[in-house]
Chains A and B, each alone.
Chain A
Amino acid sequence: MKISDVIIIGGGLAGLMAAAVAANRGQNVTLLTYGSGSLPLASGAIDFLNAKAPAVAIKNLPDNHPYKKIGMKNIDAAAKFFCEVTAQDNLPYNGKLSAQIPIVTAVGTLKYSCLVPESMDASNLINKKKIYVAGVKGLKDFYASMLVDNLKKYFPAKNFEVATLDLELLGGRDITCMGAARLLTGNEQILADGLKTLNATADDAIILPPILSLEDSNVKSQLRADVIETTCLPPSPPGIRLQRAFTKYLQRAGVKVFGNSKVIRGVVEDKKITGVVVKSVAREKIFYGKKIILATGGFYSGGLIMHEFDKPAEPIFNLPVFCRAGAENWSNEKLFDDKPQGFSMTGILTDENLNPVDASGKIIYENLHVVGANLGGVDFIHERSAGGVAISSAYKAAII
């Protein structure tokens, strides 16, 4: 019977991060994933908090906020480690926790995050003379003219030009940004050559959909102008690049990553989880570990479920789930609102060590730590803190 030092359940950002941190500390790590996690949906940027200076604003959060339990020191260390992992895979991230960097969204608004992929960093847009927006023939999810109309509101005085590149995508199925990025991976020269025909200078910027190669893009280095990728509809290449960077890190670090492995319950001894049971085909399989990190996500990822109103559940360990019961508290009348959505605050409450606790604050399992989107009490989307909480809670859980 083999016993891992750590078993991590969940292959989203939090799970990958926890596995990387633990492996980096020399631990024997098993990562169990089911489905490809939420990174294919993600913008690729890591939001920390909706504030001009998140590092300061985090300090002013109430004590029961996950960030307060994680502690500023760990949040800083998590951001640093995250950047190291991505840099190793030639996926540099820009930014710091004391400021926000703008990126251009697919609809032409700006979005602000603390850590953004270098290829999306739009900080310099303001200093540029001319902004080219490069659409691609046959690319489905990029609408240059709508993007320009909306982006102009931020930069009314700037000169915009819409261009359309032919990257030979026409003639088959619909090509999404991810489809284009995959087809261009390894065949990127056609994109570089197309962008060169714009004759953009070092004073200009070219905005394009996120279709740069999924690994080791060299398009930027061939052009004088800044090349800036936007966000896009899923599947999102920047999110998937991040997933790949972490996966490669884990492979190098010898982490055992098992896909398609749906964990259905724990093996419990007193107040400890000694193993987790995976529903494999036709039977169950137990993986044993000394420490368990629960990174199964919120409702989207199935880390939380709710079959009947007001009865949310954590399906693996049946942990108590914080929930704002009642129709009036569950959701706001407006989808995009200036207050948090009740349903998104659903989740598991923990102590300082991210151990799950019951209503009286008593620890339920000593060696189980909860990270990422299944933490309760906060609407991470409203607060713009999903990425930051994911990596910093994962960091803390992995080093405890």
Chain B
Amino acid sequence: MEKATVVIIGGGATGLGILRDLSMRGVKALLIEKKDLINGASSRYHGLLHSGGRYAVKDKEAARECIIENQILCKIGKGCVEPCGGMFTRLDIDDPAYEELWIKGCADSGIEATPITLDEAFKLEPRLSRKHVKSAYLVPDAAIDGFRMAWQLIDSSRRYGGRFKTYTEVIGFDTVNGELRGVKVRNQFTGETYEIGCDIVVNAAGGWAGFIGKLAGVEIGVQPDKGTLIAFNQRIVNHVVNRLHKSSDGDIFVPHGSITILGTSSMSIPDPEDTSTSRAEVENLLKIGEQTFENLRDFRILRAFAGSRPLYIPPGGASGRGASRGFAIIDHERDGLKGFFTIVGGKFTTFRLMAEKICDQICAKLNVTEKCRTAEEPIVPEVSQADKERARKFFPSYGTELAATRLGVERFKRVVERLESDVESRELICECENVTRAEVEEICKEDTIFNIDDVRRRTRIGMGTCQGNFCSFRATAVFADMGGNSMAKDSLVRLREFLQGRWKGIRPVLLGRTLRESEMTRSIYELSMNVTGGEPQ
């Protein structure tokens, strides 16, 4: 039987943070995830590395945690963090009294909030509404790329012996006399079921934590809370732009590499699988967003997406926006199940801290005395300047830095070597986000890649302007050629499934220029390629 000391359930930021932390302390840990990594709320959010400003009035403790973790992640996760800075703007319709509370809150929580004049604000953010914006402050917000962070955490964990399995679903637990012995899992593709023996299970399944709890026979107060977001085609802001008011829907704009994300809404849902978005939600976000940026509707929207926050509701606690963004660690020994932990709540910004806290408890149980080092050690080593210079000769412009942080030292080196030796591998598979064939080939060969979406999450293909119109065909062909598993050869199925995935996010925003893009998708893939293989009836 396969064994690990600790099995972590859930491949989001929290789970990955725990895997890294335990692995660094020498604990044999295995992470299992029922889909691909970073496929839940950890990538389906606005990618804001909070300064804490957003919580400065309501929850000073959360605010303090944020600013500390913000500074740590900026230091250890350079390649994932874009230190763009943040701006809080109060509009004419917002309560000026809140501004006073907020200034005080920031000061109390150790968040540096610098007032700037409106002229300065408009210079820094030229698209801000001159009509509505009444005051502005700079804070140390940043943007953080959930995908990159995940791949780096995995690379780091692996270096310390950590393991993970994707597309592996938990179907039950093996307990003897109230003591946990193992996890029963199922391979999502083959249907094969088997058991992994372990001493401790960490339920880090986010919005799914309640379901996992049920499988183990314990009650966990998790309320999946759906947040919908919109991705714009270009950077329309240079900083994270927050509304300076009581936290609400659609009041944060985050610049991310080439795009901007506007979010979010907050809606309690019964099923964390529900990542659907609707026209009404999009309309609502735009309506609020255009109070800050009047010309918002002139900008091309790429897609809408949603994720579910795992809000922790202690018995009798509030839900939705009222619920705490803090986190909770539950040792289910209290429920009569020894060796079973749940970590729930929290937010991306504090994932490292959450991991540290629960790992301290686990290590205490395991009598491991090794201290947490995740706050000091950079997640991955940086790609050397020498390798970047070599790469620059063949990478498209704007491609080197992005690929270096995406790939990490070893993969990057292999990609550069391939670019040097194989001229054809220099071609761009994705012309919107500048992804070379060499990089796609490198990723396709990995044993954790089963479909084109898995390639997308690691490379950004299909996430730019054309939303896959050009790269889907190319990536499908490369995957069919290089992919290590039998699913790769089923190229038409892979292609359709990938385009369908893109379609899901496009449907709720099917207007304006996105309509044009979709007509192009259909023209290419239905008319020119006949990807359904249909014959005349």
Contact B529 A107 (CB under 8 A): yes
* Residue contact B529 to A106, C-beta cutoff 8 Å: yes
Residue of B478, B489, B503, B515 touching A335 (CB-CB under 8 A):
B503
Q: Annotate B511-528 by CB proximity to A: 1 below 8 A, 0 otherwise.
A: 110011011111111111
Contact sample, A vs B, 30 pairs, CB 8 Å cutoff? A100-B536, A105-B528, A106-B473, A107-B473, A107-B530, A110-B535, A137-B424, A140-B474, A143-B481, A145-B481, A149-B480, A150-B492, A174-B427, A231-B529, A232-B528, A236-B528, A298-B519, A299-B515, A299-B519, A300-B520, A306-B512, A307-B297, A307-B512, A335-B500, A335-B521, A335-B522, A336-B525, A381-B522, A381-B526, A382-B526
A227 on the B face (CB < 8 A): no
Tell yes or no: A204 within 8 A of B by CB: no
**Distance of A335 Cα from B529 Cα, bound (Å):** 14
Chain B contacts for A106, CB-based, 8 A: 473, 528-529
Does the CB pair B511–A43 fall under 8 Å? no
From known contacts A143-B477, A233-B473, infer whether A51 and B537 are also in contact, taking CB-CB under 8 Å: yes
Task: Determine the main DSSP class of B at the interface with A.
Answer: helix
The 3 closest A-B pairs by CB, nearest first: A143-B477, A300-B519, A335-B503
Q: Closest Cβ of chain A: how far from B393's Cβ, in Å?
A: 14
Complex interface: chain A residues within 8 A of B78 (CB): none
| Chain B residues closer than 8 Å to A331, beta-carbon distance | 507, 510
B519 in contact with A47 (CB, 8 Å): no
A residues contacting B by CB (< 8 A) are 38, 41-43, 47, 50-52, 100, 105-107, 109-112, 137-138, 140-141, 143, 145-146, 149-150, 170-171, 174, 231-234, 236, 298-300, 302, 305-309, 327, 330-331, 333-336, 341, 343-344, 381-382, 384, 386
Task: Report the interface size class on chain B.
Answer: 35 or more
* Option from B427, B481, B511, B531 in Cβ contact (under 8 Å) with A140: B427
- The answer to whether A105 touches B476 (Cβ under 8 A) is no
Q: Is the CB of B537 within 8 A of A52?
A: yes
Q: How far is the CB of B290 from chain A (nearest CB, A)?
A: 12
Contact residue among B500, B518, B523 (Cβ-Cβ distance under 8 Å from A41): B523
Partner of B522 from the list A47, A308, A327, A341 (CB cut-off 8 Å) is A341
Distance in Å: Cβ of B2 to nearest Cβ of chain A? 35
Chain B residues near A344 (CB, 8 Å)?
519, 522
B510 and A107 within 8 A (CB): no
B515 pairs with A343, CB closer than 8 A: yes
Structural contact, B527 and A110, CB atoms closer than 8 A: no
The distance in angstroms between the C-alpha atoms of A298 and B520, with both chains bound, is 11
Q: Nearest chain B CB to A142's CB is how many angstroms away? A: 9
Q: Which residues of B contact A51 (CB under 8 A)?
A: 536-537
CA distance in complex: A381, B529 (Å):
12
In whole angstroms, how far apart are the Cα atoms of A306 and B502 in the complex? 21
- Smallest CB-CB separation from A234: which chain B residue? B524
In this complex, which of B427, B524, B527 has the most chain A Cβ atoms within 10 angstroms of its Cβ? B527
Alpha-carbon distance between A170 and B6 when the two chains are bound, in angstroms = 52
Q: Knowing A109-B533, A343-B510 are in contact, say whether A231-B528 is a contact too (CB < 8 A).
A: yes
Residues of the A chain whose Cβ atoms lie less than 8 Å from the Cβ of B495: 107
A106→B530 CA distance, assembly (Å): 9
Known: A41-B524, A336-B525, A344-B522. A111 touches B507 (CB 8 A): no
CB proximity of A152 to chain B, nearest CB, Å: 12
Does B423 sit at the interface, judged by CB under 8 A? yes
Contact partners of A107 in chain B: CB under 8 A? 473, 476, 491-492, 495, 529-531
Pairwise interchain contact B531-A381, C-beta atoms closer than 8 A: no
In the bound assembly, the distance between CA atoms of A308 and B531 in angstroms comes to: 31
Distance of A231 Cα from B523 Cα, bound (Å): 12
Please measure, in the bound complex, the distance between the C-alpha atom of A382 and the C-alpha atom of B519, giving whole angstroms.
Answer: 11
What CA separation (Å) do A105 and B495 show in the bound complex? 14
In the complex, the chain A residue whose C-beta lies closest to that of B520 is A300
State in angstroms the CA–CA spacing of A170 and B511 once bound together: 40
Identify the interface centre among B512, B527, B528: most chain A CB within 10 Å of its CB. Answer: B528
Contact A105 B530, beta carbon cutoff 8 Å? yes
List A contacts of B480 (CB < 8 A). Answer: 143, 145-146, 149
Among B525, B529, B534, B536, chain A packs the most CB atoms within 10 A around the CB of B536
Closest to B515 in A: A299
Q: A51-B536, A170-B424, A300-B523 are in contact. Are A110 and B503 (CB under 8 A)?
A: no
Contact B477 A335 (CB under 8 A): no
Complex partner residue of A174 from B428, B523, B529, CB under 8 angstroms: B428
Name which residue of chain A comes closest to B510, CB basis: A331
B470 an interface residue at 8 Å Cβ cutoff? Answer: yes
- Known contacts A298-B519, A344-B522: does B278 contact A42 (CB below 8 Å)? no
**CA–CA, A38 to B522, complex, Å?**
13
B415 at the interface (CB under 8 A from A): no
Contact A42 B528 (CB under 8 A): yes
List, in ascending order, chain A residues with CB within 8 A of B502's CB.
335
- Taking the closest CB of chain B, its distance from the CB of A111, in whole angstroms, is 4
Residues of A near B536 (CB, < 8 A) are 50-52, 100, 112, 384
Which residues of chain A have C-beta atoms less than 8 A from B489's C-beta? 149
Chain B nearest CB from A258 CB (Å) reads: 23
| With known contacts A112-B536, A146-B477, A42–B523 Cβ distance under 8 A | yes
CA distance A106 to B535 in the complex (A): 16
Residues of A within 8 A of B476 (CB): 107, 146
Which residue of chain A lies nearest to B534 when distances are taken between CB atoms in the complex? Answer: A50
Q: A107-B529, A302-B516 are in contact. List 13 more A-B contacts (CB 8 A).
A: A107-B476, A107-B492, A137-B424, A143-B481, A170-B423, A170-B424, A231-B528, A233-B524, A299-B519, A327-B280, A331-B510, A334-B503, A382-B526
